[in-house]
């Protein structure tokens, strides 16, 4: 949705959400038809994905981003600059970087941040690290909760199912932003005394937890629908008849058949989290200084679009490309996993 | 149908009660005291105690919640002596910061958010659905690819970025549009529309991206369905097939998502309101949280929840209306 | 005056990806050097200064609507609760206090009688008994006359605990023992109508009798505390939304957090008013815009915004754009009465050597550049701001503006003090704190940053037992003499449990004794004595690191005439402003 009054209400095209999620996106028995060689649906999907040029390009972009993020300390070592280093002497009386294009120079390839005089390249690279980590961890957490709750509801049925449905409605109706605004300072004070600075990891963990807590509903509904439709299938019946326990049925029979839509959800959730993490800076509950963070950097830089456009450009472009690549990859992934896909 | 609605409403009431309890509890765990924030700088402990009494937050928590609920139904009085303030039913609380009952703040702010969201929704739905349909029908052409490109770019942009760029280009740099402001629709419809054009455009473009992709995917799916083939085979014109049959089937999931989206947004579009300097519910809520203005927080959170719950019910009912196969039970 | 609610909040602005970036940014930045201007404030009993009407402004015509764009709504407009400069300037259009400041934009600041015919008569020449005579013909918005009983009632209600947000000088002087309202609690719930020591022998005279001498009374009487409130019109808490007008304007509508609209008070007679020209027909104050939105709109100067101004400082991101032709001449900038200091909690940091080392260590340049460089202020070395009467520059440490590493190393002698730096969590304050953290870490301190919610920042650092060591705080005088800076901020006897202004918690008997000595000096010698005490505090105790003298940098539209910086309030004055037709 357009605003952050609520976490990603994942509305992936072609995946009609509630009340009754589409069934049979990756039906197990629907094996290869046109192929002469017998291939599993997963192999087919992988083949389709590999053939997709957009998917390859976006995957490459993301790989590069991940590599850069991981290699951030190396870059820091090579350039001899710490992301928090301030080159205030290279700012003018208004705090604007001296020189061309936002202070771009041999020492500072992407120039300096106005006001603080920090190196933009290093802030960006280290910030990417934080943002990607938060987005991935949140997506995984959300999916984990979603799968657990969804399987529980779909498998148990009865009152437990109703309770889970109600819980989903409750979560959807509860304003995420207000929760985050209120809870983050409370928890911080609970765990750290007034003279301790909470380590950056703590705030990051809080953000991830908040995202996870409010974004599992879509996955839960999806998984619940899948489980309900699969649990009566012959192969499950067969396993049950053979005396398999619940654990075996869930983990060996059901989950392998629903991982595909879950994967799509995760891949589409990540860009949403990147964007929302940036929006948290709006209400001052994002990642705190001095930990570099892409979201906060974007938020801080937007105001400079007229006075120092280069400062706005670099983080803005980075997040745009990142989100775009994730969206493209997510789309491609879904298409490739969809047996009806003819793309 | 009636039984369905009644049951959903009952469940909704429970949901709202839980949300109000959680919000209530949440703000009592907040480390800084609302009384301190309100009392300001030159405040002694006695002053703070007095403000707490005036706000009614010196009572134990369950008692306060009971007072709140009572206030909703029969109204209540805050403070004592010469400084008491009446808050008639339905009293969602009294904001001492603003010197007015919370209900009047809501009445003042809600139209702004509603105008932004409903106007934006009209734009994003028409734009999104028609673009999506068009690109589905012209599948594989340059038009389709262009539409996909634009929608992907749109879906990868954020309100805070796109909105600000629009603001600069259309307002600050060129002066083509006035800075957004809110004039009540009843006062002057033309000024209402002009003042909200920018937020509408922003929401319209960004959200239409999503709907275009959704509509395209749905259309493609329905176009390959048997009933569409049947309709074609019995000699209906392409237009009739597309609008009467295919679109109708494709529109169901769009309605679902649009309903929930609109319901969620009506509760407040904080970033949009902030970027365009509009005093809507979203901004009221966030400001209230920052000033620990609990009555306003409670009221806005509950309103947002009510809107989402209603949207859910409406979507389900609409679902049954659009798709005769769906039965409500 | 407590720190200005300078909401350094979100920078939320926009502008093009086009243009800019093609030319080199030079060291010059913006504008020339700011000349520190020293206050020439004085109290005038000259008939010419005290006589209405106010001198006409060249080329000014009455009419038009002036818009003031503000970031957030006023906290209070009720004269008993009004203590913030933007509120005082706005309130000054609605109600008249006994005294007021007469300014013409040339830097001449005169304290004259407003409701009163002159700034107050020191009856026995001992500063203990003061008498004011009200002007003839001053009327409220309903045409009824303003009486001295209403002034007394206005003062009386400011004792009420529910209306406690305003200044409490006169209240405290009337009841010097204990808290200002420990004895008298206002006229409500059966309290008596006037406090002790306030007499109104007739409808035009009001007399204050203080147990101790207070030569500053004429200044204190310029605060809204002495604005008249007719008992019959007192709506108590709701008075905040609609004060009963005795000034040139009255409230037309007030939608909280959205807009305040003022229209003319037809019963205001310019002949009774030496201070206000009141040219615009209407004044509209709008709330809820971000700092950057306001600045961008004023830079753009679209027709709808040409008769607008703002008291909000231009945020750093927009500053470079204000030097362009067509914009530069619409900038109103200059020093204010605020000094920002890095307060050292002397209860925790008891070692004077560490406090002195901090004074050598702080990079004032970096701290300033983080919030807009020279537009936000200039590096400070004294406690009082250059706008204070009798101010003299001194520098105890003579460190370069970016700090003196050698000296710090020498003083610390291998120690690495662990200090907690608390800061308000707004975007710019966070940036600034991070600049200080980095700078002090590099200098050999171990700094922990602790963000505090901006709404409770001053409450937290004002708690006597707060757990922090360093925090930035701003203080400005309530009137341009040292008596509202040194005693409230550096006298240990003022320390209470909560709500302290003395946030370094300096509690030195020698400072307190000196405060008493200076207070009892003849008025003419006090200014120099406060300045000497200022230097003594820094030299002997170093309880703070003076960081910068606050400056303001405001914009107005092209149709706003005679917009100048009020030296009394540090923001654009509205008294002589006009809308160009």
**Full DSSP string of B36-84:** HHHH-SS--HHHHHHHHHHHTTTS-HHHHHHHHHHHHHH-EEES-GGG-
pLDDT digits (tens, 9 = 90+) for C221-246: 999 999 999 999 999 888 999 999 99
**Full DSSP string of B177-209:** SPPP----TTT-HHHHHHHHHHHHHHHHHHHHH
pLDDT of residue C36: 44
pLDDT of residue A227: 84
The answer to whether the CB atoms of B271 and A305 lie below 8 A apart is no
pLDDT of residue C407: 94
Residues 427-456 of C with CB under 8 A from B: 453-456
Block mean pLDDT (10 aa), chain A, length 343: 46 39 39 57 75 83 88 82 80 79 76 85 89 92 91 83 86 81 77 76 88 88 84 82 81 79 83 84 79 85 81 86 86 72 45
pLDDT digits (tens, 9 = 90+) for C306-316: 999 999 999 98
Rg (CA), chain C: 24
pLDDT digits (tens, 9 = 90+) for A216-230: 988 888 888 888 888
List the single residue in C with minimal CA-CA distance to A90.
C27
Taken in order A263, A267, A273, A274, the sign of the CA dihedral is: positive
pLDDT digits (tens, 9 = 90+) for B45-55: 777 777 777 77
The answer to whether the CB atoms of C302 and B292 lie below 8 A apart is no
pLDDT of residue C41: 58
**pLDDT, mean of residues B193-203:** 92
The answer to whether the CB atoms of A98 and C25 lie below 8 A apart is yes
Instruction: Please report residues of C whose CB lies closer than 8 A to that of A302.
Output: 11-14
The answer to whether the CB atoms of C14 and B164 lie below 8 A apart is yes
Instruction: Please report residues of C whose CB lies closer than 8 A to that of A284.
Output: 425-427
pLDDT of residue B161: 82
Touching C: which chains, 3+ CB pairs < 8 A? A, B
**Full DSSP string of A159-194:** HHHHHHHHHHHHHHHS-HHHHHHHHHHHHHHHHS-T
Look up residue A65 and give its two tokens: 């981003």
Does residue C408 sit in helix, strand or coil?
helix
pLDDT of residue A37: 67
The answer to whether the CB atoms of B292 and C296 lie below 8 A apart is no
More confident residue, B38 or C543: C543
The answer to whether the CB atoms of C17 and A195 lie below 8 A apart is no
Say if A92 is an interface residue toward chain C (CB within 8 Å). Answer: yes
Nearest-Cα distance to chain A for C425, in Å, is 7
Q: Taking each helix axis as running N to C, give the angle between helix B281-290 and helix A176-191, from 0 to 180 degrees, rounded to the nearest 10.
A: 10
Asked whether residue C415 carries a pLDDT value surpassing 60, the answer given is yes
Separation of CA C44 from chain center: 22
Lowest mean pLDDT among B43-52, B62-71, C201-210, C547-556: B43-52
The answer to whether the CB atoms of A290 and C437 lie below 8 A apart is yes
User: Which residue in this structure is represented by tokens 């009047």?
Assistant: B104
Say if A166 is an interface residue toward chain B (CB within 8 Å). Answer: yes
Which of B27, B40, B194 is best to mutate for the C interface (most C CBs within 10 A)?
A: B40
Asked whether residue B183 carries a pLDDT value surpassing 90, the answer given is no
Does residue B98 sit in helix, strand or coil?
coil
Say if A318 is an interface residue toward chain C (CB within 8 Å). Answer: no
More confident residue, C410 or A34: C410
Ranked by mean pLDDT, the top range of A213-217, C153-157, C487-491 is C153-157
Instruction: Select the residue of A85, A92, A305 nearest C15 (Cβ to Cβ).
Output: A305
Residues 6+ apart with CB under 8 A from B149: none
List the single residue in A with minimal CA-CA distance to B220.
A14
Asked whether residue B227 carries a pLDDT value surpassing 70, the answer given is yes
The answer to whether the CB atoms of A324 and B319 lie below 8 A apart is no
Instruction: Select the residue of B44, B165, B166 nearest C179 (Cβ to Cβ).
Output: B44
Residues 6+ apart with CB under 8 A from C47: none
Lowest mean pLDDT among B33-37, C191-195, C388-392: B33-37
Lowest mean pLDDT among A177-181, C73-77, C203-207, C352-356: A177-181
Taking CA C122 as the corner, what is the angle to CA C118 and CA C128, rounded to the nearest 5 degrees? 135
The answer to whether the CB atoms of A3 and B270 lie below 8 A apart is yes
Look up residue A242 and give its two tokens: 């053979």
Instruction: Please report residues of B whose CB lies closer than 8 A to that of A198.
Output: none
Nearest-Cα distance to chain B for C459, in Å, is 6
Q: What percent of chain B has pLDDT over 90?
A: 8
Helix H or strand E segment including B104:
helix B102-137
The answer to whether the CB atoms of A95 and C317 lie below 8 A apart is no
Instruction: Please report residues of B whose CB lies closer than 8 A to that of C160.
Output: 83
Residues 97-136 of B with CB under 8 A from C: 98-100, 105, 108
pLDDT of residue C170: 94
Instruction: Please report residues of A whose CB lies closer than 8 A to that of B37.
Output: none
Ranked by mean pLDDT, the top range of C10-19, C267-276, C423-432 is C267-276
Look up residue A176 and give its two tokens: 């995420």
Helix H or strand E segment including A67:
helix A53-70
More confident residue, C203 or A87: C203
The rounded distance, in Å, linking the Cα atoms of A54 and A325 is 9
The rounded distance, in Å, linking the Cα atoms of C318 and C326 is 15
Does residue A71 sit in helix, strand or coil?
coil
Instruction: Please report residues of B whose CB lies closer than 8 A to that of A178.
Output: 23, 285, 289, 297, 301
Say if A88 is an interface residue toward chain C (CB within 8 Å). Answer: yes
Residues 28-87 of B with CB under 8 A from C: 32, 36-37, 39-48, 50, 54, 79, 81-83, 85
pLDDT digits (tens, 9 = 90+) for B125-161: 998 888 888 888 888 788 888 888 888 888 888 888 8
Helix H or strand E segment including C99:
strand C99-103
Check residue A5 and report its DSSP letter: S
């Amino acid at each position: 949705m357009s605003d952050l009054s609520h976490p990603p209400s994942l509305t992936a095209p072609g995946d009609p959400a509630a009340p009754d999620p589409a069934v049979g996106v990756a039906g197990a028995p629907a094996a290869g038809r046109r192929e002469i060689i017998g291939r599993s649906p997963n192999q087919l999907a992988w083949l389709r994905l590999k053939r997709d040029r957009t998917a390859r390009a976006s995957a490459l972009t993301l790989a590069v981003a991940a590599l850069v993020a991981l290699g951030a300390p190396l870059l820091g070592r090579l350039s001899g600059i710490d992301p928090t280093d301030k080159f205030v002497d290279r700012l003018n009386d208004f705090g604007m970087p001296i020189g061309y294009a936002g202070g771009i120079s041999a020492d500072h390839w992407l120039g300096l941040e106005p006001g603080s005089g920090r190196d933009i390249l290093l802030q960006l690279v280290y910030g990417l690290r934080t943002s990607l980590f938060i987005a991935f961890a949140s997506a995984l957490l959300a999916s984990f909760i979603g799968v657990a709750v969804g399987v529980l509801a779909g498998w148990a049925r009865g009152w437990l199912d109703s309770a889970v449905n109600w819980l989903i409605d409750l979560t959807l109706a509860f304003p995420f932003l207000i929760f985050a605004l209120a809870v983050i300072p409370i928890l911080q004070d609970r765990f750290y005394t007034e003279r301790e600075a909470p380590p950056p990891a703590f705030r990051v963990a809080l953000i991830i937890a908040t995202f996870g807590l409010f974004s599992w509903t879509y996955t839960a509904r999806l998984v619940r629908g899948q489980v309900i439709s699969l649990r009566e299938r012959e192969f499950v019946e067969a396993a049950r008849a053979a005396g398999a326990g619940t654990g075996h049925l869930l983990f060996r029979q059901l989950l392998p058949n629903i991982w595909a839509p879950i994967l799509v959800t995760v891949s589409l959730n990540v860009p949403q989290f990147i964007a929302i993490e940036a929006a948290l800076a709006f209400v001052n509950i994002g990642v705190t200084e001095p930990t570099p963070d892409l979201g906060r950097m974007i938020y801080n830089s937007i105001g400079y679009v007229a006075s120092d456009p280069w400062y706005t450009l670099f983080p803005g472009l980075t997040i745009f490309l990142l989100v775009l690549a994730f969206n493209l990859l997510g789309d491609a992934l879904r298409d490739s996993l969809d047996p009806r896909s003819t793309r | 149908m009636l039984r369905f609605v009644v049951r959903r409403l009952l469940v909704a009431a429970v949901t709202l009660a839980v949300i109000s309890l959680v919000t209530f509890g949440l703000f009592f765990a907040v480390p800084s005291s609302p009384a301190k924030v309100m009392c300001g700088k030159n405040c002694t402990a006695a002053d703070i105690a007095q403000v707490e009494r005036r706000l009614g937050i010196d009572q134990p928590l369950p008692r306060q919640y009971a007072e709140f609920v009572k206030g909703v139904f029969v109204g209540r009085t805050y403070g004592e002596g010469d400084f008491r303030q009446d808050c008639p039913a339905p009293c969602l609380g009294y904001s001492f910061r603003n010197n007015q009952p919370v209900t009047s703040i809501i009445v003042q702010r809600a139209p702004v958010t509603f105008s932004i969201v409903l106007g934006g929704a009209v734009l994003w739905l028409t734009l999104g659905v028609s673009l999506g349909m068009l690109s589905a029908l012209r599948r594989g052409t340059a038009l389709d690819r262009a539409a996909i490109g634009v929608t992907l770019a749109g879906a990868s942009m954020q309100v805070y970025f796109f909105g600000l760029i629009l603001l600069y280009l259309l307002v600050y740099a060129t002066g083509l549009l006035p800075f957004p402001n809110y004039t009540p629709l009843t006062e002057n419809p033309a000024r209402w529309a002009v003042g909200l054009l920018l937020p509408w455009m922003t929401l319209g473009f960004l959200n239409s991206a999503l709907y275009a992709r959704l509509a395209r995917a749905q259309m493609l799916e329905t176009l390959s369905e048997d009933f569409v083939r049947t309709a074609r085979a019995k000699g209906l014109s392409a237009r009739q097939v597309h609008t009467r049959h295919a679109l109708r089937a494709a529109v169901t999931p769009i309605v679902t998502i649009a309903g929930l989206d609109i319901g969620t947004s009506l509760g407040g579009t904080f970033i949009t309101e902030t970027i365009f300097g509009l005093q809507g519910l979203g901004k009221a809520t966030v400001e209230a949280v920052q000033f620990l203005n609990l009555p306003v927080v409670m009221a806005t959170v509950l309103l947002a929840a009510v809107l989402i719950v209603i949207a859910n019910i409406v979507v389900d009912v609409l679902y049954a209306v659009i798709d005769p196969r769906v039965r409500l039970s | 005056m407590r720190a200005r609610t300078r909401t350094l909040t979100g920078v939320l602005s926009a502008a093009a990806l086009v243009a800019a970036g093609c030319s080199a940014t030079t060291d010059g930045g913006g504008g020339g050097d700011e000349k520190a201007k020293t206050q020439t404030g004085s109290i005038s009993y000259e008939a010419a200064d005290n006589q209405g009407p106010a001198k006409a402004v060249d080329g000014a015509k009455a009419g038009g609507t002036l818009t003031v764009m503000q970031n957030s709504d006023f906290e209070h407009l009720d004269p008993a609760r009004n203590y913030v400069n933007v509120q005082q300037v706005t309130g000054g259009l609605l109600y008249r206090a006994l005294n007021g400041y007469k300014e013409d934009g040339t830097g001449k600041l005169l304290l004259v009688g407003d409701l009163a015919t002159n700034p107050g008569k020191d009856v026995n020449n001992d500063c203990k008994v003061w008498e004011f005579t009200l002007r003839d013909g001053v009327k409220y918005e309903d045409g009824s006359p303003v009486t001295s009983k209403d002034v007394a009632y206005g003062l009386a209600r400011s004792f009420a605990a529910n209306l406690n947000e305003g200044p409490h000088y006169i209240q405290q002087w009337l009841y010097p023992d204990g808290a200002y309202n420990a004895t008298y609690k206002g006229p409500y719930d059966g309290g008596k109508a006037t406090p002790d020591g306030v007499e109104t022998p007739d409808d035009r005279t009001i007399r204050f009798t203080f147990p101790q001498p207070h030569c500053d009374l004429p200044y204190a009487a310029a605060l809204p505390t002495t604005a008249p409130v007719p008992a019959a019109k007192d709506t108590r808490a709701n008075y905040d939304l609609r004060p009963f007008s005795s000034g040139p304007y009255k409230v037309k509508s007030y939608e909280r957090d959205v807009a305040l609209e003022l229209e003319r008070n037809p019963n205001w007679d310019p002949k009774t008013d030496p201070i206000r020209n009141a040219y615009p027909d209407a004044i509209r104050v709008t709330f809820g815009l971000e700092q950057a939105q306001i600045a961008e709109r004023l830079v753009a100067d679209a027709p709808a915004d040409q008769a607008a101004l703002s008291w909000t400082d231009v945020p750093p991101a927009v500053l470079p754009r204000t030097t362009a032709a067509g914009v530069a001449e619409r900038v109103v900038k200059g020093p204010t009465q605020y000094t920002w200091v890095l307060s050292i909690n002397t209860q925790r940091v008891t070692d004077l050597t560490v406090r002195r080392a901090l004074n050598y260590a702080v990079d004032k340049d970096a701290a300033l550049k983080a919030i807009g460089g020279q537009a936000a202020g200039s590096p400070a070395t004294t406690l009082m701001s250059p706008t204070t009467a009798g101010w003299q520059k001194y520098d105890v440490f003579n460190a370069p503006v970016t700090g003196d590493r050698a000296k710090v190393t020498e003083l610390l002698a291998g120690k690495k003090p662990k200090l907690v730096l608390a800061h308000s969590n707004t975007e710019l304050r966070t940036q600034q704190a991070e600049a200080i953290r980095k700078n002090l870490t590099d200098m050999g301190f171990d700094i922990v940053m602790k963000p505090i919610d901006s709404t409770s920042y001053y409450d937290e650092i004002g708690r006597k037992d707060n757990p922090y060591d360093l925090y930035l705080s701003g203080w400005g005088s309530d009137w341009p003499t040292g008596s509202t800076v040194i005693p409230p901020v550096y006298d240990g006897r003022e320390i209470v449990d909560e709500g302290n202004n003395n946030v370094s918690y300096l509690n030195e008997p020698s400072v307190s004794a000196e405060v008493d000595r200076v207070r009892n000096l003849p008025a003419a010698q006090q200014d120099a004595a406060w300045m000497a005490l200022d230097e003594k505090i820094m030299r002997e105790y170093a309880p703070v690191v003076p960081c910068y003298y606050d400056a303001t940098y405001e914009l107005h539209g092209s149709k706003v005439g005679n917009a100048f910086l009020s030296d009394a309030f540090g923001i654009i004055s509205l008294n002589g402003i006009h809308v160009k037709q």
